[in-house]
Amino acid sequence: MTLFLQLLVNGLIVGALYGVVAMSFVLIYKASRIVNFAQGEFLLIGAWTCWWLLTSWQLPFWIGFPITLAFMMLFGIILQVVVLRPMIGEPIISVIMVTIGLSLFFQALMKWMFGVFAKPFPPIFSSPTVSVLGLEVQTVYVVSLVISILIMAGFGWFFKFSRMGLAMRATAFDQQVAQSLGISVRQVFAASWAISAMVSAVAGVTVGVVNGVSSALSFFGIKVFPAVILGGLDSVVGAVIGGLIVGVLENLAHYVDSQWLNWGNMYEIAPFYVLIAILMVKPYGLFGTKDIERV
């Protein structure tokens, strides 16, 4: 029973991280209609940058982390301007393939620069675990949960009240109308990539602190898809819920597997079975809006 609770808590915390990544995925999709298969690489690059600053330059975390964020912001903008901007108006297959190509490129580049083995972060918190309701939980996880909730609240505020957020929603709704109202669509696209890269880097650093940094981080970008499909592609709230569900689901599958089935590897595969099942029944995801096409 303790194992079950432990897995449930882990699931919720990891799920919150999935939710954060899924949210930044949805952000890009909503603003620029680009499906970003390189989302996992954002986590990877962010985590490696922070790791590099902290180990090679011996910077304290509170300096290294903001530098990482600033770097990721620049990185997101440059990526959008150099690679994705020429792809505006191309068919969806081409756009998907460009992001797949990017993901391949950056994954290999990171392996080349930092090696294939996981490298641990220098310790950031004084005590590695804290006890929450009698369960031992890693401090980083608690902090990450708090950060996730903060980011989600921040997103909520951003889209509801800030000028840029409103501009983004307008652009997502109709690019031409937004442009005619004086919104710079280019700026909106660039901003969405910058924010997405930054938020993903936060998630990447968090996971890196817990598990060490390695190319396995980019698998987060794949795990985002079940979450996003569950939540519906164009709903930020849905992405968070989807992320939580996937996090809990994979831990539950792991529990069921370790207790009764002993198939192994259910932790990674279960979300994909669920994904296929959902798409069979509801081709637009659970909360996604159905496209109505006019002839």
Partner 1 sequence: MANISLIPCGDFKTAYGADTTIFPTVTSRNFAIAGVLLLALCPLFMDRYWLSLLIQIGYLGIAALGLNILVGFTGQISIGHSAFFGFGAFSSAWLSNSYGVPVALAIPLAGVMTTAIGMIFGVPAARLKGLYLAIATLAAQYILQDFFARADWFTGGVAGTIAEPFSLFGFAFDTDGKFFYVALVYMVIMYVLATNLMRTRDGRALVAVRDHYLSAEIMGINLTKYRTMSFGISAFYAGIGGALYAHYLQFVSVEGFTILFSIQFLGMIIIGGLGSIMGTLMGTAFMVLLPEAMQFITTSLSGTAIDTALNLKDAIAFLREMAIGVVIILFLVFEPDGLAHRWKQIKAYWKLYPFSH
SS3 call for 71: helix
CB of 93 to partner 1, least distance (A): 5
Amino acid code (one letter) for 248: V
- In angstroms, give the least distance from the CB of 265 to partner 1: 6
Q: At 211, which amino acid appears?
A: N
Query: Closest distance between partner 1 and the C-beta of residue 198, in Å?
Result: 23
Nearer to partner 1 (CB atom), residue 65 or residue 225: 225
Phi and psi (nearest 5°) for 129?
-130, 155
With vertex at residue 172, the alpha carbon angle to CA 170 and CA 173, rounded to the nearest 5 degrees, is 65
Task: List the one residue out of 110, 71, 114, 103 whose CA is nearest residue 225.
Answer: 103
How many C-beta atoms surround the C-beta of residue 148 within 10 A?
26
Tokens (6 digits) for 180:
């005619």
Nearer to partner 1, 62 or 112 (CB): 112
Quick check: 267 and 249 in contact, CB under 8 A? no
CA distance 158 to 195: 11
Distance CA(209)–CA(121), nearest Å, equals 5
- Minimum Å gap between C-beta 288 and partner 1 is 8
Select 151 or 224, whichever has its Cβ closest to partner 1. 224
Q: Which is nearer to partner 1, 182 or 293 (CB)?
A: 293
Q: Read off the tokens for 227.
A: 């979450």
CB of 106 to partner 1, least distance (A): 8
Residue at 191: amino acid letter: A
Binding site for partner 1 (CB under 8 A): 35, 83, 86-87, 90, 92-94, 96-98, 100-109, 111-112, 222, 225-226, 228-229, 233, 263-265, 268-269, 272-273, 275-276, 279-280, 283-285, 293, 295
DSSP label of 119 = B
Smallest gap, in angstroms, from Cβ of residue 102 to partner 1?
A: 7
Q: Where are the alpha helices (DSSP H) in 56-184?
A: 61-79, 92-114, 139-161, 163-173, 175-180
Residues 6+ apart with CB under 8 A from 79: 102, 193, 197
Q: Indicate the residue among 74 and 276 with the shorter CB distance to partner 1.
A: 276
Q: How near is the Cβ of 279 to partner 1 at its closest, in Å?
A: 5
Two structure tokens written together for 96: 């998907």
Question: C-beta of 293: minimal distance to partner 1 in Å?
Answer: 6
Cβ proximity to partner 1: between 56 and 131 the closer is 56
**Closer Cβ to partner 1, 111 or 169, answer by number:** 111
For partner 1, the closer of residues 64 and 243 by Cβ is 243
